[in-house]
């Protein structure tokens, strides 16, 4: 197939969103396997100055739809713009972030085009697919967890042109940026009507997250086994000492110990830090789905049968407060 790999470039109004860098990095990998260009579509107002960065990560060409009414995402006009670009340039693959924007817009785009859309992918491959009737070569294999994280499914859309997918943030690897790499930006005209702009934005409330889990190299995470204020204090102390962030299981968040910003797992944030210390976390599949790719996992739990021990590199059976106090002491006394 000849079409490009097209990536939806998400922005936050003034800057490119970090998911866009991840999508471009992965898109570049796929497009080089397929030997086709990597293109991007951006929809917004006054974005041109910040689009060049997408070239550093591997984007060859960006189709930019500019309109003063497009400064902030709303469903219908953004979907219309992306549909127009896809119809005009006929990519073979289109990738979106599985963000609230991507998950709102991509299904509308797929529906209008009658295309296959796979949600929340965690990996892609290029491969072959055989049915009774024929063999499809070099198509997109879309890998995603389903059923609450209990199965990993490989999905294909062999007859669908393009194949579309959304990808979770924090899952794809960033390429090292090449700041000399140029990208061609072309302005694209899309016909909008007043009826495309039915959603009125009354107010935008930016809420800074309490913690940036995705960029943390070390995460110390609290579960129900760390369910008291002294234990949480120790979790925070160790996280601070190691220069890491505090995470939490869903159970810990639901019980009010830590806010949802700290939640890691299927319905929280997905992380892949160098070190993940699971304190009093049992290791349900939904939690594992959010941290199993961590380079090193230390599990602390009083229950030797806890499922977390089956994915940990280091297991310590013991009381969280005791173990954390020992760790803090040992770290202070090192060298």
Q: Among residue numbers 249 through 278, which ones bind another protein (CB under 8 A)?
A: 274-275
Q: Among residue numbers 16 through 35, which ones bind another protein (CB under 8 A)?
A: none
Show the tokens assigned to 52: 């060049």
Q: Taking the C-alpha atoms of 307, 311, 317 and 323 in order, what is their torsion angle to the nearest 10 degrees?
A: -120
Q: Indicate the residue among 184 and 198 with the shorter CB distance to another protein.
A: 198
- Cβ of residue 71: shortest distance to another protein, in angstroms? 13
68 binds another protein (CB under 8 A): no
Euclidean distance between CA atoms 246 and 258, whole angstroms: 9
- Cβ of residue 16: shortest distance to another protein, in angstroms? 14
Q: Among residue numbers 219 through 238, which ones bind another protein (CB under 8 A)?
A: none
47 torsion bin: left (phi>0), alpha (psi -120 to 50), beta (else): alpha
Which range binds another protein by CB under 8 A, 24-32, 51-59, 154-162, 221-229? 154-162
189 binds another protein (CB under 8 A): no
Q: Indicate the residue among 185 and 291 with the shorter CB distance to another protein.
A: 291
Burial class (CB in 10 A: 0-12, 13-18, 19+), 297: buried
215 binds another protein (CB under 8 A): no
Euclidean distance between CA atoms 309 and 315, whole angstroms: 6
172 binds another protein (CB under 8 A): no
45 binds another protein (CB under 8 A): no
Which range binds another protein by CB under 8 A, 49-57, 86-94, 182-190, 315-323? 315-323
Query: Of these, 34, 36, 62, 327, which contacts another protein (CB under 8 A)?
Result: 327
Distance between the two ends of the chain, CA-based, in angstroms?
59
Query: Of these, 46, 137, 146, 230, which contacts another protein (CB under 8 A)?
Result: 146
Q: Which of 275, 256, 278 is nearest to 265 (CA)?
A: 278
Query: Of these, 1, 12, 123, 227, which contacts another protein (CB under 8 A)?
Result: 12
Query: Of these, 182, 198, 254, 259, which contacts another protein (CB under 8 A)?
Result: 198
Q: Which of 74, 94, 73 is nearest to 85 (CA)?
A: 94
Give me the half-sphere count of Cα atoms (radius 13 Å) on the Cβ side of residue 297.
Answer: 22
Query: Of these, 50, 52, 158, 224, which contacts another protein (CB under 8 A)?
Result: 158
Q: Which of 100, 132, 129, 134 is nearest to 116 (CA)?
A: 129
Crossing angle of helices 229-242 and 320-332, rounded to 10°: 30
Mask for 81-120, x = binds another protein (CB under 8 A): ------------------xxx-xxxxxx-xxx-xxxxxxx
Query: Of these, 134, 179, 193, 204, which contacts another protein (CB under 8 A)?
Result: 204
318 binds another protein (CB under 8 A): yes
Please report the DSSP string for 224-248 in residue order: GGG-SHHHHHHHHHHHHHHT-EEEE
316 binds another protein (CB under 8 A): yes
- Where is 25: in which H helix or E strand? helix 18-34
242 binds another protein (CB under 8 A): yes
How many residues touch another protein (CB under 8 A)? 87
206 binds another protein (CB under 8 A): yes
């Amino acid at each position: 197939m000849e079409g490009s790999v097209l990536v939806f470039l998400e922005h936050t109004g003034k800057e490119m969103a970090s998911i866009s860098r991840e999508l471009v990095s992965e898109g570049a990998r796929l497009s080089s396997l397929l030997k086709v260009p990597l293109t991007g579509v951006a929809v917004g107002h006054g974005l041109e100055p910040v689009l060049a960065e997408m070239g550093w990560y591997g984007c060859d060409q960006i189709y930019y739809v500019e309109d003063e009414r497009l400064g902030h995402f709303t469903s219908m006009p953004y979907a219309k713009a992306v549909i127009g670009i896809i119809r005009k340039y006929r990519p073979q693959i289109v990738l979106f972030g599985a963000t609230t924007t991507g998950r709102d817009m991509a299904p509308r785009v797929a529906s209008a085009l009658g295309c296959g859309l796979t949600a929340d992918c965690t990996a892609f491959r290029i491969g072959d697919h055989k049915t009774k009737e024929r063999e499809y070569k070099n198509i997109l294999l879309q890998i995603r967890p389903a059923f609450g994280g209990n199965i990993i499914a490989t999905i294909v859309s062999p007859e669908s042109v393009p194949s579309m997918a959304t990808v979770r943030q924090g899952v794809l690897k960033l390429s090292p940026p090449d700041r000399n790499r140029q990208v061609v930006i072309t302005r694209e005209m899309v016909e909008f009507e007043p009826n495309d702009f039915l959603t009125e934005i009354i107010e935008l409330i930016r809420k800074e997250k309490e913690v940036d889990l995705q960029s943390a190299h070390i995460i110390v995470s609290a579960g129900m086994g760390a369910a008291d204020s002294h234990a949480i204090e120790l979790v925070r102390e160790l996280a601070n000492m190691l220069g890491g962030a505090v995470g939490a299981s869903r159970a810990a968040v639901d019980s009010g110990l830590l806010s949802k910003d700290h939640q890691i797992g299927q319905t929280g944030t997905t992380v892949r830090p160098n070190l993940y210390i699971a304190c009093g976390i049992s290791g349900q599949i939904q939690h594992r789905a959010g941290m199993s790719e961590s380079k090193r996992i230390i599990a602390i739990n009083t229950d030797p049968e806890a499922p977390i021990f089956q994915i940990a590199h280091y297991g310590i059976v013991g009381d969280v407060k005791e173990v954390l106090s020992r760790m803090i002491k040992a770290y202070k006394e090192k060298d």
